[in-house]
Amino acid sequence: MTPATTLSPSSPSPHASLAPLAFGDLQGCRTPFQQLLAKAAPPAGTPLWFAGDLINRGAESLATLRDIIALGDQAVPVLGNHDLHLLSVSAGIRKAKKGDTIGEILAAPDAADLLEWVRHRPLAHFDQGMLMVHAGVLPQWDVNLTLELADELQRALRAPNWKETLAGLYGNEPNRWSPELKGIDRLRLTCSTLTRIRFCNADGVMDFSSSGGLNAAPSGCMPWFDVPSRKTAGVTVVFGHWAALGLTVRENLIGLDSGCVWGEKLSAIRLTQDPAARTLTQVDCENCRVPNGGN
């Protein structure tokens, strides 16, 4: 299977003239995804961006994954924490949790090929002046550093010793960026940021004690995107991961996790260069509600 191409600011999209259509966390909710894609009706060839967590917790994780793979290069997903969890369970690093719906993927006759495809997805994507990650970025990171760190982690997860790397990515420390970080500590910090961050303090020190909404910020902390002087403030950052935050749309910030797996809505936004021209499409996900939702 051919690895995905690592994108940099200088690598244009094959469909650069078409505004991407970005989707929030699908988490195995295939029916709402199909309904939303039909409702949004993007022009043929439109890049379809997915802000991570394609699978898990929803009832149709295997079918959802197959749908995205079938889209070929038109689909541009980044890895989320649930996608990494799938890889970890497959590798025997972690045990499946109550509420997981990844068993059907692991039991599929072509499971090895499916997992190989997931493992070769990027951790960050930048095109047309827009940066997509699953969870967020640290305030000290500009686009170039974000892509550099994402590329380091992508390469490590695609290497022959990827299981050793993946096993070392779990944990909350280090929780602050330093250019001096090396080895697995650097990779773990990158992974925690790109796939898990919600809150940090003004110095970019991450706090993972809360997954609630804005009113649940730990003492001294704020949403990562509200830190003053964030170095990615000049580009549009697209992310998912934070269902309790809900749909969040600002001129240069788009949070797309609107809680589909919690029975709320699945959202997609057409990412035009002009923020005022961006269009939102949503479908209800009442029938997809699962008891434990997802993070």
In the chain, what percentage of residues exceed pLDDT 90? 91
Phi, psi at residue 130, to the nearest 5°? -130, 135
The pLDDT of 102-109, averaged and rounded, is 98
How does residue 295 score in pLDDT terms, banded at 50, 70 and 90? low
Considering the domain boundaries, does residue 109 fall inside one? yes
**Residue 193: is its pLDDT beyond 60?**
yes
CA atoms within 13 A on the CB side of 264: 20
Rg of the chain (C-alpha set): 17
C-alpha to C-alpha distance for 87 and 192, rounded to whole angstroms: 16
**Residue 12: is its pLDDT beyond 90?**
no
The pLDDT of 40-60, averaged and rounded, is 97
Considering the domain boundaries, does residue 1 fall inside one? no
88: CATH: 3.60.21.10
Q: Which amino acid is at 68?
A: I
The pLDDT of 204-221, averaged and rounded, is 96
Which residue range is the domain that position 98 belongs to?
Answer: 21-288
Considering the domain boundaries, does residue 10 fall inside one? no
Q: Which amino acid is at 102?
A: I
- CB burial of residue 137 (10 Å; 0-12, 13-18, 19+): buried
Q: pLDDT by residue (tens digit) across 54-96?
A: 999 999 999 999 999 999 999 999 999 999 999 999 999 999 9
**Residue 292: is its pLDDT beyond 80?**
no
* Helix 61-70 vs helix 30-40: crossing angle, to nearest 10: 40
Considering the domain boundaries, does residue 3 fall inside one? no
Instruction: Name residue, tokens 């991570």.
Output: 52
Considering the domain boundaries, does residue 2 fall inside one? no
Considering the domain boundaries, does residue 212 fall inside one? yes
For the chain, how many structural domains are there in total? 1
Considering the domain boundaries, does residue 294 fall inside one? no
User: What is the arrangement of strands in the sheet containing 279-284, beginning at the earlier edge strand?
Assistant: 75-77, 48-50, 21-23, 265-270, 279-284
Considering the domain boundaries, does residue 295 fall inside one? no
